[in-house]
């Protein structure tokens, strides 16, 4: 983007593909981290006199307008953060978008409605995506990719559109890639990775890679129960992906062979049912050993002994990557595991990276100071796929 700014952008229509996919409670944004992350790019362009068109997806609407997924709240928040008026187009490529873009003054900023209200954005059909990208290209003179959280998606605005316009990477993408390079090329040891979240299937590919790179792998969250089951423990009614057990067993064996310490919970908090996240009514969980989960109970967080164990495994870390909460942190009775891991990252001597929408939102909503971490990534799937060594369509299109 510095190259673009030095060439001069005054009066140019610059399409910024951001990731404003923020968590919403109705129309209230519960974590604005992703909006704040794109402000430096938008501000630099606007200050240089560009006419800035900010575009993003939000949620997974079905290729048609759906008010529940409108970007209007995100546009309003962007305006507050910029301290400037931000125009909002009620469609993405139709008459409203055209009018809003035509009405932009030099230095003005507009947000166009959710890209995924158009089936062409996410289509697997190259021609359908191309047709939508052609329409988007008609709105702008230049493309700036800065939606790091979406670079792993082969979507029209991420992959096809940059091929149609002079294209540049924004500040956020440059920072995120710089950090992930440190985790792949310049890692300081011990390299400790903490993985949580609901589904083990989302993490298989990254675990596969990490078994050759990390020194320690700490497992928590819903995915831990598939590991415990693979070790032969009963997990009651906890989240379980039976079909992944053979893969997990192979990982447990490979970790041992490769000298990677694979650390599983030694105790967990259990209850007969999933907590009510709306009322946050007391859940009264009990703590049990990881090999003694009662048949009618569900594991919902790591227990106190595991919290201590994981903190000790992080205490001397030279590098940490953490993706995925350790429990149902949205409920106060199950937030301690995630808090303990976040605190251990704060206390760790090395470079710490929090990756993933949920863990990033967790550290902020649990009251941690963002600056206490080396880096909080805006990308969940994107950072995982980067660490898996995959080619990310949105980065490849910018490098092209």
* Positions marked catalytic: 34, 199, 357, 381
The phi and psi torsions of 212 (rounded to 5 degrees) equal -105, -5
CB of 149 to ligand 3PG, least distance (A): 4
Q: What is the DSSP letter of 232?
A: T
Residues 6+ apart with CB under 8 A from 205: 384, 385, 388, 390
As a whole number of angstroms, the distance between CA 320 and CA 180 comes to 11
Give 267 or 385: the residue with its C-beta nearer to ligand 3PG: 385
How far is it, in rounded angstroms, from Cα 263 to Cα 256? 11
Minimum CB distance to ligand 3PG, residue 259 (Å): 32
Give the residue with the Cβ less far from ligand 3PG, 220 or 357: 357
Using the minimum distance from each CB to ligand 3PG, give the nearer residue, 65 or 304: 65
For 333, phi then psi, to 5°, come to -70, -15
Binding flags for ligand 3PG, 130-159, as an x/- string (CB under 6 A): -------------------xx--x------
* Dihedral pair phi/psi, residue 145, rounded to 5°: -90, 120
What the block records as the tokens of 368 is: 């941690």
Q: Which one among 12, 15, 18, 21 touches ligand 3PG, defined by CB under 6 A?
A: 21
Instruction: Answer yes or no whether residue 60 interacts with ligand 3PG by CB under 6 A.
Output: yes
Q: Is 301 in the site for ligand 3PG (CB under 6 A)?
A: no
Contact between 101 and ligand 3PG by CB under 6 A: the answer reads no
Least Å from the CB of residue 378 to ligand 3PG: 8
Q: Which residue has the tokens 């590991």?
A: 227
Count CB atoms within 10 A of the CB of residue 230.
Answer: 19
Distance CA 42, CA 73 (A): 17
Nearer to ligand 3PG (CB atom), residue 177 or residue 230: 177
H/E run at residue 320:
strand 319-323
Site map 152..191 versus ligand 3PG, x via CB under 6 A: -x--------------------------------------
Residues forming contacts to ligand 3PG in the complex (CB under 6 A) are: 19, 21, 60, 149-150, 153, 357, 380-381
């Amino acid at each position: 983007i510095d190259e673009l700014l030095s060439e001069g952008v005054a009066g140019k229509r610059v399409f910024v593909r951001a990731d404003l996919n923020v968590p919403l409670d109705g129309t209230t944004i519960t974590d604005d981290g992703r909006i704040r992350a794109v402000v430096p790019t938008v501000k630099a362009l606007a200050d240089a006199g560009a006419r800035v068109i900010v575009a993003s997806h939000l949620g997974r609407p079905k290729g048609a307008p759906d008010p529940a997924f409108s970007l209007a709240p995100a546009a309003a928040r962007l305006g507050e953060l910029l301290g400037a008026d931000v125009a909002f187009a009620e469609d993405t490529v139709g008459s409203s978008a055209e009018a809003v873009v035509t009405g932009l003054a030099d230095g003005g900023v507009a947000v166009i409605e959710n890209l995924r209200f158009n089936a062409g954005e996410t289509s697997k059909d190259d021609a359908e995506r191309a047709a939508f990208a052609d329409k988007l290209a008609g709105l702008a003179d230049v493309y700036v990719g800065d939606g790091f959280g979406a670079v792993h998606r082969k979507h029209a605005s991420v992959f096809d559109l940059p091929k149609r316009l002079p294209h540049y990477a924004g500040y956020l993408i440059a920072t995120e890639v710089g950090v992930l390079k440190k985790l792949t090329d310049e890692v300081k040891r011990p390299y400790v990775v903490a993985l949580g979240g609901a589904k083990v299937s989302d993490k298989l590919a990254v675990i596969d890679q990490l078994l050759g790179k990390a020194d320690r792998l700490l497992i928590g969250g819903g995915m831990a129960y598939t590991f415990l089951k693979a070790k032969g423990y009963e997990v009651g009614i906890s989240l379980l992906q039976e079909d992944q057990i053979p893969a997990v067993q192979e990982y447990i064996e490979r970790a041992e062979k490769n000298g990677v310490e694979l650390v599983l919970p030694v105790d967990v908090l259990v209850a007969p049912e999933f907590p009510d996240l709306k009322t946050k009514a007391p859940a009264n969980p009990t703590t049990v050993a990881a090999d003694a989960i009662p048949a009618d109970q569900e594991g919902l967080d790591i227990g106190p002994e595991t919290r201590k164990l994981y903190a000790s495994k992080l205490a001397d870390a030279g590098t940490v990557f953490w993706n995925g909460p350790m429990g149902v942190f949205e409920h106060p009775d199950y937030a301690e595991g995630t808090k303990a891991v976040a605190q251990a990252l704060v206390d760790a001597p090395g470079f710490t990276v929090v990756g993933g929408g949920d863990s990033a939102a967790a550290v902020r909503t649990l009251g941690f100071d963002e600056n206490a971490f080396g880096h909080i990534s805006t990308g969940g799937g994107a950072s995982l796929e980067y660490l898996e060594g995959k080619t990310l369509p949105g980065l490849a299109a910018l490098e092209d």
